[in-house]
Structure 1
């Protein structure tokens, strides 16, 4: 029954993409970068993160064939992840697999048409290995996190979740292996592809403006939706960042808010690490709960929120369903599924309705609900992390 549902769930984005010829622009862009037919293509991605796209470029065929090969690789990755969930632990593993199938079905075309699936699954592997009982497996977890960081950058902040008591050797082993692996992978990447490719993704992100889908852009989008036709105070246009950005009253202020909020998120990560050093109460559940919190906060505070970012949350949530028995994890899973569905309505269903001034109030309303869902996920994950700390303290 599960695998029948799995086939149906994956057929939804495949048929959607084929029937409406949508959401393939990024895949075609990956091809141009992998083949070098467009100058500067994919320089905003860490080189390691583009390997799936470069692998698919080795397969025969034209652009349409490349799109099919890329989606096939995503389907294969999802199948392997689902199979692991089913077999890792009976009962709870099956529940997690059903969650993943539901997420794929609800998240629309983006799950099979973006590179984000691959680092997100890698982060889930990292989290799962933390629950292993052997030191070798936990060291492997830190290596996987380092590789995921070099694939998409954002997983690097999850290194804060590795920190435990200052007097415990295991703490410094985890931190050393993570940082050491990060240095090694970066050095190898630099030697093979050049030092410039290590820095270009950072420069690219810093130069981006306020994307219309981000949480901090929501007040500006709401204000623009009430503007009269022909009102030139706001402008929505396709920027050099390859995304739609909004400018006008409030945009600069909200961009500053996003920058400050992102800094605060980093400070939260550092504060968590310091508390674990002092309190000596690290546990895999704490690490997983805080990792989910950080991912949700990174999405919520970013001035950019592409629809595929919702994929960052799902594999980690599936791992939580496998290894954690708390009811709050089930609540979190439901919130992620609801947010995934709302994201599908944001993109691609109502996306074109948001690209004019004034943007459609209906589309902006759906966007606001989706962004509220992300905040709800962050709050629930944060509460879980705090209760996991209290539970750990009561057992000491």
Structure 2
């Protein structure tokens, strides 16, 4: 049985860092009305939009004919949760719960990093990386979604079934956590994780469908989304404005999107690239020959990165997902994604410079706004390519490498070392 490695110094450092940075994030949230912090636009998402949806959900129905409701039914449970805390406003309860989940993620990463052969760098990256987004993480429910993905990955080695359940619950809240199960080792681990994910997902959806009306109302609005100004396609179109493109930015479907000639073609190209990304991931899965303890973590980060950069939408809160998955990777000393994590931190910092600090310039399509988006999205694209290349190489070892712990078809355990004869 694995035992935690007792090392109070680094754990104390993570604790102090968490307390100090979260206090700063709360202070920034309290001063959200300052123009450089967004002029109130960050916190408004919770006290106006989320609270409005809470009222609809409390009456037993998902929002219908609401272009802003684009989320799977599991999101309803997250948005109803603040109502369980008495004596607080909806906004206050939401922030308290978000901080509690943030602390849970930190504890899980510390615990994982304290196991033999593991590292506390993951806990440090999450604790220090999340505040790079200023107060935004406290006013979005992406921390809760990321927590389910993190728990899914960290429980995989001990219980593939629990991993599948966490992944399914995450996918019911926001679809992307389904990708974290891509790298499960072949054999019993995959069957357990994927089978329990399917069962838990179906059962949870059934409960929500019985409890609430219109559980699939989000599909209509999700399908109608266009090209968000912060996506790779949006960056290309924004640059095209300086070359005479006649399109313009407008607010629709809860985001600033670009409208005009060729936008549909760009959206179609984005969907095509997403299909290519999925095909590459399937090819990797088929051709992979070696799994280490880090392979499921690395594959999850790579998959979410590829789907993020090819998406029609790259909202700033998406960086929360990537920081969380990068943190999981860094809990293992065998990860191939260390340089990718560095690029993600750089992209996260630039995301904050874009929103909320200089978002007006991005919307107006100024050279400053265009160059900021080009730099941020360039880092993300570079991280995605590097992530896939390093994942591919890490699971296709050199012929001189003998796999001493190649997983048996029915093995639940993840191999953790190889022996090189070179």
TM-score (norm 2): 0.81
Residue 267 of structure 2, aligned match among 244, 255, 264:
255
* Residue pairs, 1:145-156, within 5 angstroms: 145-156=167-178
Structure-1 residue corresponding to 2:344: 336
Aligned ranges 1:99-138 → 2 under 5 Å: 99-132=125-158, 137-138=159-160
Q: Does 1:139 align with 2:161?
A: yes
Question: How does 1:23-102 map onto structure 2 within 5 Å?
Answer: 23-28=42-47, 29-36=49-56, 40=64, 43-60=69-86, 65-90=89-114, 92-102=118-128
- Kindly tell me: are residues 174 and 282 of structure 1, through their superposed partners in 2, closer, same or farther at Cα, counting changes over 3 Å? farther
- In 2, the alpha carbon distance for the partners of 1:163 and 1:325 equals 16
CA contact (8 A) 2:308 2:314 kept: yes
What is the CA distance between 1:80 and its match in structure 2? 1.8
Change (3 A) 1:93 1:210: same
Q: 1:81 to 1:26 in 2, by over 3 A?
A: same
The answer as to whether partners of 2:343 and 2:383 remain within 8 angstroms in 1 is: yes
Classify the secondary structure of the residue corresponding to 1:146. Answer: helix
Quick check: 2:146–2:321 contact (8 Å CA) kept in 1? Answer: yes
Asked whether 1:200 is paired with 2:217, we answer yes
* 8 A contact 2:155–2:163 mirrored in 1: yes
Give the SS at the match of 2:317.
helix
Q: 3-state DSSP class of the match of 1:237?
A: strand
1:183 aligns with 2:210: no
Query: How far off its partner does 1:390 sit?
Result: 2.0
Q: Of the candidates 283, 297, 302, which is equivalent to residue 271 of structure 1?
A: 283
Q: Please report how far the alpha carbon of residue 122 of structure 1 lies from its aligned counterpart in structure 2 after TM superposition.
A: 0.8
Inter-CA distance 2–162: structure 2 relative to 1 (3 Å threshold) = closer
Partners in 1 of 2:389 and 2:200 — Cα distance? 31
1:390 is aligned to: 396
| Residue in 2 that maps onto 1:354 | 362
Residues 290, 54 of structure 1: alpha-carbon distance in 2 compared, 3 angstrom cutoff: same
Is the helix fraction higher in 1 or 2? 1
The Cα shift of 1:60 comes to 4.9
Pick one of 292, 307, 311 that aligns with 2:301: 292
**Deviation of the 1:50 alpha carbon:** 3.0
Post-superposition offset of 1:378:
1.0
Q: In structure 2, what is the equivalent of residue 325 of structure 1?
A: 334
**CA apart distance, 1:27:** 0.7
Q: CA deviation at 1:226?
A: 5.5
Question: What TM-score do you get using the length of structure 1 for normalisation?
Answer: 0.86
Q: Which runs of 5+ in 2 are unaligned?
A: 1-12, 34-39, 407-422
Classify 1:20/1:144 alpha carbon distance in 2 versus 1 (closer, same or farther; 3 Å).
closer
Contact 1:87 1:93 in 2 (8 A): no
Q: CA deviation at 1:61?
A: 6.4
Q: Measure, in 2, the Cα distance between the counterparts of 1:366 and 1:246.
A: 17
Q: Size of the alignment, in residue pairs? A: 374
| Whole-angstrom CA distance in 2 between matches of 1:90 and 1:147 | 26
Please say which of residues 385-394 and 337-346 is displaced more in the overlay.
385-394
TM-align CA RMSD: 2.5
Does the aligned pair in 1 maintain the 2:162–2:193 contact within 8 Å? Answer: no
Residue in 1 that maps onto 2:417: none
Alignment match of 1:219 (pick from 219, 233, 236): 236
Between 1:175-184 and 1:99-108, the stretch displaced more is 175-184
Residue ranges of structure 1 left out of the alignment (5+ in a row): none
Instruction: Name the CA shift for 1:205/1:286 in 2 (closer, same or farther; >3 Å).
Output: same
| Contact 1:85–1:93, Cα closer than 8 Å, also in 2 | no
Contact 1:163 1:174 in 2 (8 A): no
1:150-200 deviations in Å (ceiling 9; x for gaps): 111122244433362xxx444433332222222222222222224x31x22
Quote the offset at 1:93 in angstroms: 4.3
Does the aligned pair in 2 maintain the 1:31–1:57 contact within 8 Å? Answer: no
